[in-house]
Amino acid sequence: MLGLGLIGRIAAGVRRDVAAARSRDPAARDVGPLEILVTWPGVHALFAHRIAHVLHEIGVPFLPRVIAAVSRAITGIEIHPAAKIGQGFFIDHGMGVVIGETAELGDDVTLYQGVTLGGTGFATGKRHPTVQDNVTIGSGAKLLGPITVGHGSKIGANSVVIHDVPPNSTVVGNPGHPVRVEGRRPEGPDADWVHLPDPIADAIKSLASRISALEQSGVDEAPGQGNVRPLRPAGNREDEIEQTPDTTTRVNRTVGPNPAGG
Ligand SMILES: CC(C)(COP(=O)(O)OP(=O)(O)OC[C@H]1O[C@@H](n2cnc3c(N)ncnc32)[C@H](O)[C@@H]1OP(=O)(O)O)[C@@H](O)C(=O)NCCC(=O)NCCS
């Protein structure tokens, strides 16, 4: 059952979590530990999780899930009781954070609101991310599957990360790709993920410039007329044929002999 040792461990964890909030949230710099403990939702969620996790570890049924559900209702942060979370964890703002059952987080990890550490489907076993020490994950980022985020890395807001992230990297975008590794831009033929070739956009651009060139040449050939065609009574096609070269082509196609012979 819960001994003094376990209670002491939870208390030490919470103390470090409050200190993490003070050091990593600019809005908490001048706020006392008690005020943070009472008013910071990320700290509440973590406090609830530390209790739920200990109960889950020692095999207490039902209660850990109840604690997690109540905590979720109050804070908007959903942490599965089985998720392993290290010391100095900080969730800023909190609302919309989901941390799955087999997620593992190292020490001094920071998450912003809307982060998901989730699975990719209905797989069982280890199916959630492992996040090493000193990682920061921006708001709205989704990390999916049993990937590993190396220590000291940063994940940009709204990124979708489905592959391992090397240590000390910055990963952004969807799909998430490294824009910094060990402080430098990644090099090599596959490094430029941002400026990938886009053949469809290229084709549309070339058609657009061809159309504008054709329009321009039409205006040049009929100075003063622009592309305004005078209205003619239906059937007076001979008059129309005399107007401009482009209408000649159209009318000839209408009234000329049928090449198919029908
Ligand atoms: C990813 C992040 C940590 C990078 O910060 P950084 O180390 O200072 O890196 P930089 O700002 O130099 O950005 C590096 C590159 O990534 C790009 N980038 C940064 N964040 C990005 C994002 N979220 N999405 C897409 N691209 C991003 C930058 O444009 C830059 O591109 P470049 O190399 O072509 O110039 C930061 O941009 C971020 O997203 N932080 C999350 C903050 C957050 O969620 N705040 C919520 C507060 S409520």
The pLDDT tens digits for 35-75 are: 999 999 999 999 999 999 999 999 999 999 999 999 999 99
| pLDDT higher than 60, residue 149 | yes
| Cβ–Cβ under 8 Å, residues 149 and 166 | no
Ligand 1 midpoint to CA 85 (Å)? 25
How confident is the model over 117-138, as a mean pLDDT?
95
Q: Which two tokens stand for residue 82?
A: 């089985």
Q: Which two tokens stand for residue 70?
A: 């109540």
pLDDT range class, residue 262, cuts 50, 70, 90: very low
What span, in angstroms and rounded, lies between the C-alpha atoms of 102 and 129? Answer: 8
Q: Residue 184 has what DSSP assignment?
A: B
Superfamily of domain 4-181: Hexapeptide repeat proteins (2.160.10.10)
Return the CA Rg of the chain: 32
Whether the bond into 175 is cis, omega within 30 of 0 = yes
pLDDT range class, residue 250, cuts 50, 70, 90: very low
**Collapsed DSSP state (helix, strand, coil) of residue 250:** helix
pTM for this one? 0.76
| pLDDT higher than 80, residue 128 | yes
| pLDDT higher than 90, residue 164 | yes
- If one residue of 137, 149, 168, 170 were mutated to test the ligand 1 pocket, choosing by the most ligand atoms within 8 A of its CB, it would be 170
Residues recorded for the chain:
262
Domain ranges across the chain: 4-181, 199-254
Q: Residue 189 has what DSSP assignment?
A: T
Helices (H), the chain: 4-24, 33-39, 41-57, 63-75, 199-221, 237-241, 245-255
Ligand 1 midpoint to CA 206 (Å)? 33
User: Of 101, 97, 100, whose CA–CA distance to 138 is shortest?
Assistant: 97
Residue nearest to atom 6 of ligand 1 (CA): 170
Residue 43 vs residues 123, 170, 218: alpha-carbon distances, Å: 31, 26, 70
Residue 58 vs residues 54, 138, 162, 165, 187: alpha-carbon distances, Å: 6, 33, 32, 33, 48
Ligand 1 midpoint to CA 155 (Å)? 8
| pLDDT higher than 60, residue 17 | yes
